[in-house]
Chains A and B, each alone.
Chain A
Amino acid sequence: MGVFKMPSLGADMEDGKLVEWLVEPGDTVKRGDVVAVVETQKGAIEIEIFEDGVVERIDAALGATLPVGAPLAVIRREGEPEAVAPADVREPEPAPVTKPAKPVATPPSVVTEAGEFPASPAARAQAAELGLDLSGLKGTGPAGAVVLADVERAGEGARKPAKQGLDFAAMRDAIAAAMTRSKQEIPHYYLDHDIDLQAAEDWRRARNADCAPADRILMGALLVKAAALAAVNVKGMNGQYRDRFEPSETVNAGMAVALRGGGLIAPAIMDAAGLSLDQLMEAMRDLVARSRAGRLKGSEMTEGTITISSLGETGVDGMTGVIYPPQVALVAFGTPRPVPRVVGAAVVPRTCVRVTLSADHRVSDGRRGAKFLKQIDTLLQRPEEL
């Protein structure tokens, strides 16, 4: 029997709220199947199962906020006998289902923890649910404490929680925690390089001119592909650092997606180096759409091996990024723009892009980082081969 547990969907995740079961006892599941949906600070995440088998029992009730590692279900592996007597005999008891994990609501209560405002636990929980700041409420309880009724009154006119269960204050906290950890633990070094993108841009434009919109490719796809290929070739950029560096064979490229209303999410494109440009476009389109809708998979949140961030077509020249732990490198492409550039003996206008590498000194140094950026440059000079 395997116990399917609440997964950790990021270094900073402590608990998650179970909002949907997609399987029931008796269902056959395969490794990688999405079996449940958990709401986290990063929105609703589809969680996958990591073994084949049959769902023997569901242990966690919908709506429960459970810590990482809490048992969610029991999976019977192929060939294992069905659970015998002990588990089933006391069926009448409503199973061990709802151990209402911990004092139920420690909801991502960003705002409520902020101050020392006297308030009842129910009021705190409700305020967190509604995204209300307790300090802004007038309390009618003992000693001016905020009670549930106060929160509910305030809640009537207050903003609804953001769509799709996204709580931007909670997400900001998650970003702050991850980035603080990064800056404390990772000895960053940075390298800049200006790449002449004219060849890539000319090639892309010519290719797109004959294409219906659905088949067009964005410069972003070329940049991701080039960086992913370079990450395969130059060691020390691709992998995860847990106690020591664990290099990865495949490049799962985290793609930073900025959300309206603030917030950022960086789900991974699995095996980006192995995808054609068309497949990469499809994967990027899909990831952006699901990031906006708040429907990403657990593996996409945790299995990134490098982040490749592109500032798009209307942004600024460059960005020096903060590595997303446990990864060890982040590549940031600025907005491609025309600049005067020396080609041969002449100064000519060329479309160029600044690429900035943030990398981890525990794993690599400047020379290797430079090799990596130069390789991206070289690959972008032959866009037709990407």
Chain B
Amino acid sequence: MTNDDIKVAFLEELIKVAPDIDPADVGGNDQLQDDLELDSMDFLTLVTALHKRLGVNIPEEHYLRIETLDKAVAYLSERMA
């Protein structure tokens, strides 16, 4: 999976959790919780969806490593390598 594929997958799952976000508005450095206003439950739902879709089980200690789109793509690609 290329980084672009991961990015697409991440954004698709993000939009499922937060249907009122326009993917075109998501900046690479936007904080999911502070900028995009995901709450703790939304965040966990996203982590659950990524686990199901990409097979990556993200432990709680690693949550900070997916706090933005760019960080998440880097992290996921590392875990999937």
Whether B41 lies near A260 (C-beta < 8 A) is: no
Say how far B59's CB is from chain A's closest CB, in angstroms. Answer: 7
Whether A163 lies near B19 (C-beta < 8 A) is: yes
Given contacts A213-B48, A213-B58, A214-B51, contact A292 B18 (CB under 8 A): yes
A residues neighboring B (CB under 8 Å): 162-164, 205, 208-209, 212-214, 216, 218-220, 257-261, 284-285, 288-289, 292-293, 312-314
Whether A285 lies near B20 (C-beta < 8 A) is: no
Whether B40 lies near A260 (C-beta < 8 A) is: no
Say how far A47's CB is from chain B's closest CB, in angstroms. Answer: 23
Contact partners of B47 in chain A: CB under 8 A: 213
Whether A260 lies near B51 (C-beta < 8 A) is: no
Whether B60 lies near A205 (C-beta < 8 A) is: yes
With a 10 A CB-CB cut-off, give which of B19, B44, B59, B60 has the most chain A CB atoms: B44
Given contacts A260-B20, A260-B21, contact A216 B40 (CB under 8 A): no
Of chain A, the residue at the smallest CB distance from B47 is A213
- Bound-state CA distance A284–B40 (Å) is 11
Whether A213 lies near B51 (C-beta < 8 A) is: yes
Whether B20 lies near A220 (C-beta < 8 A) is: no
Of chain A, the residue at the smallest CB distance from B45 is A285
Q: Mark B27-66, 1 if CB is under 8 A from A, else 0.
A: 0000001101101111011011011100001111000000
Q: Which of B37, B40, B48, B51 contacts A313 (CB 8 A)?
A: B40
Whether B33 lies near A163 (C-beta < 8 A) is: no
Q: List 22 A-B contacts (CB under 8 A).
A: A164-B19, A209-B60, A212-B48, A213-B47, A213-B48, A213-B58, A218-B40, A257-B39, A258-B39, A259-B20, A260-B20, A260-B21, A285-B41, A285-B44, A285-B45, A292-B19, A292-B20, A312-B39, A313-B33, A313-B40, A314-B33, A314-B40
Q: Which of A208, A257, A285 contacts B60 (CB 8 A)?
A: A208
Whether B45 lies near A289 (C-beta < 8 A) is: yes
Whether B48 lies near A214 (C-beta < 8 A) is: yes
Of chain A, the residue at the smallest CB distance from B36 is A260
Whether A163 lies near B60 (C-beta < 8 A) is: no
Contact partners of B57 in chain A: CB under 8 A: 212-213
Say how far A94's CB is from chain B's closest CB, in angstroms. Answer: 38
- Bound-state CA distance A257–B47 (Å) is 19
Whether B44 lies near A213 (C-beta < 8 A) is: yes
Whether A260 lies near B45 (C-beta < 8 A) is: no
- Bound-state CA distance A275–B22 (Å) is 35
Given contacts A218-B40, A220-B41, A285-B41, contact A209 B18 (CB under 8 A): no
Contact partners of A162 in chain B: CB under 8 A: 20
Whether A216 lies near B44 (C-beta < 8 A) is: yes
